[in-house]
Chain A
């Protein structure tokens, strides 16, 4: 079965600094990987995905993620953090063996301080 690990419960970064939110995965075939963001009292918003192609994927709000097959990682990055980026971030992998459902990581709280 597919699985995702987000090793950090929380990431703190100063506004204007680069940020990285880590994600590693375990899949039996080709990975379909996703990042979602959840702002307080909101549902999940899609940020970006990796299906195939370039290892560097660009998404919404200036976020990008780098797919690294050898390290089985899909870290979320942004060159310059904003206070408004503070939210809960989820990495997920699509389980093609079981009806296309998403398997989520535990989530990482990002706090950006001014």
Chain B
């Protein structure tokens, strides 16, 4: 299975600031995704990170709030901009590739608390 590393693992952020989360995979993967898990909730897809082009955002998520980069096939970043307490969540990177035998794997998540 793919090994996915996320940084930071946890952070406490001030209201109005921005934070960038990094996701590094130990192998080249076709697709990378960013999910959000709000406290006590299930996971919701924010966007699909596309290598070399703009990310594809789900309904309710916009690029100005959650800019995403994917410069190559092993790395992606998600920025949470102008944070408010409602952004306090776990943000999870996930990957899919034919080499992972149709399985989507997740990182350990980045636990953000906005104060």
Over the window 60-88 of chain A, the binary record of Cβ atoms lying under 8 Å from chain B Cβ atoms (1 yes, 0 no) is 00000000000000000000000000000
B51 contacts A by Cβ under 8 Å? no
With A99-B56, A100-B31 as contacts: A94 and B104 at CB distance below 8 Å: yes
Residue contact B107 to A43, C-beta cutoff 8 Å: yes
Count of residues in B whose CB is under 8 Å from the partner chain: 25
Q: CA A107 – CA B105 in complex, angstroms?
A: 17
Nearest-neighbour CB distance to chain A for B114, whole angstroms, equals: 18
Q: Which residues of chain B are within 8 angstroms of A34 by Cβ–Cβ distance?
A: 103-104
Q: CA A33 – CA B109 in complex, angstroms?
A: 22
With A46-B1, A90-B42, A107-B42 as contacts: A102 and B107 at CB distance below 8 Å: no
**A32 partner, pick from B33, B102, B105, beta carbons under 8 A:** B102
User: Most chain-A CB neighbours within 10 Å: which of B33, B56, B94, B103?
Assistant: B103
Nearest-neighbour CB distance to chain B for A59, whole angstroms, equals: 11
Over the window 78-104 of chain B, the binary record of Cβ atoms lying under 8 Å from chain A Cβ atoms (1 yes, 0 no) is 000000000000101010100000111
A44 to chain B: closest residue by CB:
B106
Count of residues in A whose CB is under 8 Å from the partner chain: 21
Q: CA A1 – CA B109 in complex, angstroms?
A: 27
Residue contact A104 to B42, C-beta cutoff 8 Å: yes
With A102-B45, A104-B42, A105-B42 as contacts: A43 and B92 at CB distance below 8 Å: yes
Q: Which residues of chain B are within 8 angstroms of A104 by Cβ–Cβ distance?
A: 42-44
Q: CA A43 – CA B103 in complex, angstroms?
A: 16
Q: CA A49 – CA B105 in complex, angstroms?
A: 12
Nearest-neighbour CB distance to chain B for A100, whole angstroms, equals: 6
Residues of A near any B CB (own CB < 8 A): 32, 34, 36, 41-46, 49, 51, 90, 94, 99-102, 104-107
Residues of B near any A CB (own CB < 8 A): 1, 6, 31, 33, 41-45, 48, 56, 58, 90, 92, 94, 96, 102-109, 111
25 contacts between A and B (CB under 8 A): A32-B102, A42-B108, A42-B109, A43-B90, A43-B92, A43-B107, A43-B108, A44-B43, A46-B1, A46-B103, A46-B104, A49-B103, A51-B102, A90-B42, A90-B43, A94-B104, A99-B31, A101-B33, A101-B48, A101-B58, A102-B43, A104-B42, A104-B43, A104-B44, A107-B42
